[in-house]
Amino acid sequence: MRINQFIARCGVTSRRGADKLISSGCVMIDGRAAVAGDQVDNTTCVLVNGKRISLPEDYSVIAYYKPVGVTCSEKDSHAERLVTDEINSDRRLTYAGRLDKDSEGLLILTDDGALINAMMKSSEMHEKEYEVTVSGSISDEQLDHLSRGIYLKELGIKTRPCRVRRINSKTFYITLTQGLNRQIRRMCASEGLKVTKLKRTRVMNILLGDLQVGASRKLTEEELKRLYSDCGLHRFDDRNLM
């Protein structure tokens, strides 16, 4: 596999972060400086900042209920609580699709870089479902507008059509296949609606279910098989890593 993919799968950093490490000369392959596009396998001696790395024997994939007030970031000097500090793990876990500080709900965290990249690939149209509550009553016309797609002037883009289902006069479910910055809040604002609560309830086949706020759990074997399959990947124990 490519060196940046290898570094990401080893849980050191993202592919983009790996590219930066390579360009800055921090990566060595069998005694020479790595260059972008180098091919390696688990028998290759790869050093990052002088430390040898190798693919893990297994990967960790967990579901976490992010509370309001927790920031999705590994480093932020202005954040009071970081998601990486809230999870008790000795591994570098990365989230697939951030939630803003004022939102809550399901995050999928893993040290499998290939899974993260596959889940985040916009062209694959992977679904994420949210429960949205607004400050005033929402009309059927407004829900219809949201479902058809909203042009967001500040981003210069029209959102994809999506599924919307009413719960009551102020609350509805919305299922998106893209992840623009503060997308739901921007969409609602364009319809004159102020979001008072935003909770992600599903990521692909993984449900928030009865997971408690701030709690986390490992995915079941059935959930993992479906998740990897829907991402076009094999499980770690039988995938062709090289």
- CA distances 197 to 57, 67, 105, Å, are 40, 12, 11
Residue 224: in which H helix or E strand, if any? helix 221-230
* Secondary structure string (H, E, C) spanning 19-73: HHHHHCCCEEECCEECCCCCECCCCCCEEECCEEECCCCCCCEEEEEECCCCECC
- Active-site residue set: 100
Q: How far apart are CA 93 and CA 111, in angstroms?
A: 5
Torsion sign (Cα): 89, 60, 12, 82: negative
Determine how β-strand 104-110 pairs with β-strand 195-203: parallel
Q: What is the DSSP string of 122-133?
A: GGG---EEEEEE
Q: How far apart are CA 150 and CA 160, in angstroms?
A: 8
Detail the DSSP E strand segments found in 102-205.
104-110, 128-134, 151-152, 157-158, 163-166, 171-176, 195-203
Instruction: Calculate the dihedral angle through the C-alpha atoms of 148, 151, 157, 162, rounding to the nearest 10 degrees.
Output: -20
